[in-house]
Amino acid sequence: MKTLRIYLDSSVFGGCFDEEFAKESLRLVAEIKAGKFRLVMSETVLAELESAPAHVQNALADIPKEFIETVASNPEVEALQQAYLEAKIVGPASAADAEHIAIATVARADMIVSWNFKHIVHYEKIAGYLSVNLRLGYGSIGIYSPQEVVSHENEDI
């Protein structure tokens, strides 16, 4: 079975230390460390994490390098990000969120995982991103919260 390539934005790493989001964030990081997923990491997320507290940075540092694929922004990413902005999916103040979607899309990640329910994991935003992707010839990409991605096998149903 193919290992899914997942793009995490910085909210997932911060979520590891937030009472509301810790359980699923920590479980997702553990599943990446166990090799269930391949982490697609962007230079954008790395830059965002540079200003985060050390314990948040360490959540990423604990993931073995062989499970991480680092991707960079490029003119194709910038053009797709601009297309999202021109479609008014998000405004200029949320350009970084559009960049996350563009990077993951251009890198052909299988999914984007985020706790950002305002600009990323929201049904209207998802429909907008996917509409632009399809119009420009990119495939569909899943956009989920960690709660939707982690295994729930050992929990009561």
What CATH number is given to the structural domain containing 115?
3.40.50.1010
pLDDT tens for the chain, 157 residues long, are 789 999 999 999 999 999 999 999 999 999 999 999 999 999 999 999 999 999 898 888 889 999 999 999 999 999 999 999 999 999 999 999 999 999 999 999 999 999 999 999 999 999 999 999 999 999 899 999 999 999 877 655 4
In a domain, 154, yes or no: no
58, part of any domain? yes
Give pLDDT, residue 155.
57
Note down the domain range covering 98: 4-149
Is residue 81 one of the residues assigned to a domain? yes
Residue 8 lies in a domain: yes
Q: What confidence score (pLDDT) does residue 154 get?
A: 62
Give the tokens for residue 141.
Answer: 């990409």
Q: Which of 45, 9, 36, 65 is nearest to 150 (CA)?
A: 36
How many domains is the chain built from?
A: 1
How big is the chain by its Cα radius of gyration, in Å? 15
Q: Is 53 part of any domain?
A: yes
Burial per residue of 94-106, b for 16 or more beta-carbon CB atoms within 10 angstroms, e otherwise: bebbbbbbbbbbb
- Between 123-135 and 95-106, two packed helices, what is the crossing angle to 10 degrees? 50
